[in-house]
Amino acid sequence: MSTKLVAYEYVPLGFEMTIKNTEGRIWNLWYNVQLTDDPESWDSEVKSINRMQKKLEELSVNHRLIRAQMAEFCRVDPLFPQSVEILCKEIGEEHFSNPVKIGCEGRGLLDSLGYHTLESLKEQKIEIFNIYSKSLEKWLEKVQPKSSIDSKVFGFLGKPSDSKVDWVKNLIQTINTNEPSLSSIQYLAEDACKKKSSDFLTKARTNYLGRPFNCLKCGETAKCKCSYSMFIDTSLLCVGTLGENRSMLDEFKRFVEENILVYTLAINSWLEGLTPKNIMPLIAPSYITNDNALKIANGVHSALGEKDEVKTFLAACLLKTLKSNKRWHKTTEIIDSFPEATSWLKKPKNSY
C-alpha cells in the first residue's frame, strides 16, 4: 500500500497527516515559519489563518498538496523567486500541477507521497543549471536582464572585465555538462574565493558567514540539496566583487529581501482587493526596477485570479510564509520597514 493522505476531517489545523499500511505520520505545515511543532507557540497571525481554515469546508487533495508544497518553501532555494510564482499559479488554478521541490523544508512530506524522486530531482537540477547558463550567456552578450535569475547573475557579477568574462565562460562550460558534479562546482567556487581573500576559505569553514557562503563549510555533507546553486552564487559573488567596494553578503541578502518585499506587496494587495499600483516602495532598488515590480504584481494578481474563500486562505498562508521564513537570520530586513507589505495579516478576520 502506498502512502496516502488521511481523510481531511481527522487532520488537525496547521498539520498534514499521511498513512501507509498501519503506520500514520503527522507533518507540521508551519515549521518553515515558526520553527516549532508546538501549536501553542505559534504566533497570532498563524492562529488567525488556522481559524480561517477551520471555517472552510473540506479542502480538496489539490488544495492540500499545494499547501504541502508551500511548507517546503525556502527563500534561498535556487528556484526562488520563481517558486512564489509557481505557488500563485497553483493557488489560482486550484491544481497541484508543478510538484518541483522549492526548498529543503517540509520535512519530506511530498517525498513520502512520491512526488520527489531521485529522477525528478535530477531533472530539476539540470533545468536550474540550464537557467543559470542562459543568464550567464546574456551577461556575456550584454543584453538587458529580464528574469529574476538574470537580475541575480547580472547584479552579482557587476560590470564585465576580461578576467570575469574568461571565468564566466569556464563556469558555463562546467555546468553545461549532462550532470556536473557538486565537487567540480565547489572547486570553481573555492578557486574564485581564494582570489578574493587569502583567508576567506578558512573563515568560511570555521565560522558561519551566512548564505550562500556557509556551503563552503559543509560541502558534500550538506543536507540541503540546493548547495550546488549556493556554490554557483558564491563564485559569482567572489568573482563579481573582486577589487570592488561591495559586500558579498549584503548583495545576496539584498537580492532575497527585495524579492520578498515585492512578492509580499503583490499578494497582500490581492488579498486587500487593491490594484497593484506603485508596488515598489524602495527609492533605490538594486535588483528589481519599478517596471519589473509592477510586472510581478500584475502577474501575481493574474495568476491568483478571482477571490474565493479557499484561495484567500491559501494566499494568506503564502503571505505569512514569505514574511516569516527568516530561519537563518534573526536580524531585521527590508520588509520590516514596510508594514503595508503584510497589512492584511493584521486585520481582524471576522468574516471567516
Show the CA angle centred on residue 125, arms to residues 121 and 126, nearest 5°.
120
Residue length of the chain: 352
Question: Residue 219: what pLDDT?
Answer: 54
Q: What are phi and psi of 15, to 5 degrees?
A: -130, 170
Beta pairing partners, 16:
27
Is pTM beyond 0.75? Reply is: yes
Give yes or no for a contact between 264 and 341, defined as CB atoms under 8 angstroms apart.
Answer: yes
Q: Rounded to an integer, what distance in angstroms lies between the CA atom of residue 276 and that of residue 309?
A: 21
Q: pLDDT of the chain along its 352 residues, tens only? A: 489 999 999 999 999 999 998 899 999 999 999 989 999 999 999 999 999 999 998 899 999 999 999 999 999 888 999 999 999 999 999 999 999 999 887 888 999 999 999 899 889 999 999 999 999 999 999 999 999 999 999 999 999 999 999 999 999 999 988 778 888 888 888 888 888 777 777 777 776 667 787 777 765 455 555 578 888 999 999 999 888 888 888 999 999 999 999 999 999 999 999 998 878 898 889 999 888 999 999 999 999 999 999 999 999 999 999 999 976 566 789 999 999 999 999 987 654 4
Residue-wise over 223-257: b if at least 16 C-beta within 10 A, else e?
ebbbbbbbbbbbbbbbbbbbeeeeebeebbbbbbb
Distances (CA, A) of 63 to 16, 27, 310: 12, 16, 8
Quick one: pLDDT at residue 349?
A: 67
CA 185 from chain centre, in angstroms, equals 21
Using the Cα atoms of residue 245, residue 249, residue 254 and residue 255 in order, give the sign of their dihedral.
Answer: positive
Question: How distant, in Å, are the alpha carbons of 68, 239, 248, 291 from that of 196?
Answer: 41, 7, 10, 34
Q: What ranges do the domains of the chain cover?
A: 4-117, 119-248, 250-346
For position 226, what pLDDT does the model report? Answer: 57
Q: Which of 269, 250, 246 is nearest to 258 (CA)?
A: 250
**Residues 17 and 27: beta-carbon distance below 8 Å:** yes
What lies within 8 Å, CB to CB, of 93 at 6+ separation is 305
Triad 6, 109, 69: Cα angle to 5°: 105
The reported pLDDT for the residue numbered 82 is: 96
